[in-house]
Structure 1
């Protein structure tokens, strides 16, 4: 039993040493790569493209509103042949030839400035939304990148612990075969090896998930980023 406790304690301390050696990942942060990922996300992420398209669409509304000032004026003409009499009991002001007329829609005249002002306000809102979206995507890229770097570090730790536990288990197997340790001690080493291998597999899955999420937002494979 004493040997079993010593073995268990040794493996626990081994894991603790490895964890402490990797407890800071600040040195693993590559800010040059991070900026590349942010730039790629702002170019490729569909949400960014939608926000930019919306901004341009709203911007055209300003030009449309300004051009619609012409709707205020309504032109008309009246043609009276030269060989007709100019006498007109309904409208004595008629005369032969072409008569031109222009009318002004007062309602439209009063409404147009407000329509243009609204179009400009809508565009300003679209610009602010695009800026907000830009910042949100930047923060999301950072979050996913930090998670990715963390999972790389965790995978290194899990892999090292699994390798060490495997070495311990093989060493204890030899000792068990020589009768130097008990069956309980040997079985415990095998359980520790199995647990560390399972933890390694789980960590690999988390690493792949973090990698996929980062690639999703930047729009390309990490291996393709130069």
Structure 2
């Protein structure tokens, strides 16, 4: 019975470990261009990925690192030198003081540094590690960009809703102010009551103005990262 219980606990533990050790598929962080039926949030993320310069830098760093792997692998060829010369006595035999001695027509030599292969192997390993690092940086940029776009979009939605609320509040305050103004002109209320209502209206106007400013800033911030006007997003 104890063995069965221990086995069950072990299996549950392994299943729990697997459920908590899910890897991220970085190819799904940004929806591909060919997919059209997506939410506005995903469209904004994709626009930012295609248009924001920092992302292009990260992509090019990957390509650069990939090329460096090839360069490191073939760099040993530049270290090998080939030398050759033509024997002068074969060009002009009469200049040979001892014609009975044999002199080769050509002299060819190859110079290969002793540590060339181990050095090349190390350079290739370094280049491959740099390539992996560039890929990790690209994946990190995907996550960072996605989070930043979604945060800016959420700020935009909040600012838009807040502006709507404060606009309605200002309209209500203005209507109250007009009513109080008429009552004041007809002598129905005191100056203090009129001034109090006027102050409330002016305060609400200030709140709305600040809300408009926050809203416009949220639009600018979002458009900065997606690269186009918000109204042009389709």
TM surpasses 0.5? yes
Which 5+ residue runs of structure 2 have no aligned equivalent? 1-37
TM-score calculated relative to the size of structure 2: 0.76
Do structure 1's residue 174 and structure 2's residue 177 form an aligned pair? no
The aligned residue for residue 13 of structure 1 is none
Do structure 1's residue 155 and structure 2's residue 163 form an aligned pair? yes
Could you list the per-position Cα deviations for residues 28-86 of structure 1 after superposition, in whole angstroms to 9, with x for gaps in the alignment? xxx71111111011111111111112221222111111111213432222322265459
The aligned residue for residue 76 of structure 1 is 83
Query: Counterparts of 2:113 and 2:219 in 1: how far apart (Å)?
Result: 62
Q: Report the alpha carbon displacement of residue 172 of structure 1 after superposing the two structures with TM.
A: 1.5
Which 5+ residue runs of structure 1 have no aligned equivalent? 1-30
Structure with greater contact order relative to length (CA < 8 Å, sep ≥ 6): 1
Aligned length: 192
The aligned residue for residue 202 of structure 1 is 210
Q: Report the alpha carbon displacement of residue 122 of structure 1 after superposing the two structures with TM.
A: 0.5
1:29-178 to 2 correspondences below 5 Å = 32-80=39-87, 81=90, 84=93, 95-178=103-186
Query: Counterparts of 2:232 and 2:85 in 1: how far apart (Å)?
Result: 71
Q: Is the 8 A contact 1:147 1:210 kept in 2?
A: yes
Q: 1:146 to 1:87 in 2, by over 3 A?
A: farther
Q: Which runs of 4+ in 1 moved over 3 A?
A: 82-88
SS of the equivalent of 1:106 reads: coil
Query: Counterparts of 2:118 and 2:98 in 1: how far apart (Å)?
Result: 39
TM-score calculated relative to the size of structure 1: 0.78
Do structure 1's residue 183 and structure 2's residue 212 form an aligned pair? no
Alpha carbon RMSD of aligned pairs, Å?
2.1
Q: Report the alpha carbon displacement of residue 87 of structure 1 after superposing the two structures with TM.
A: 6.8
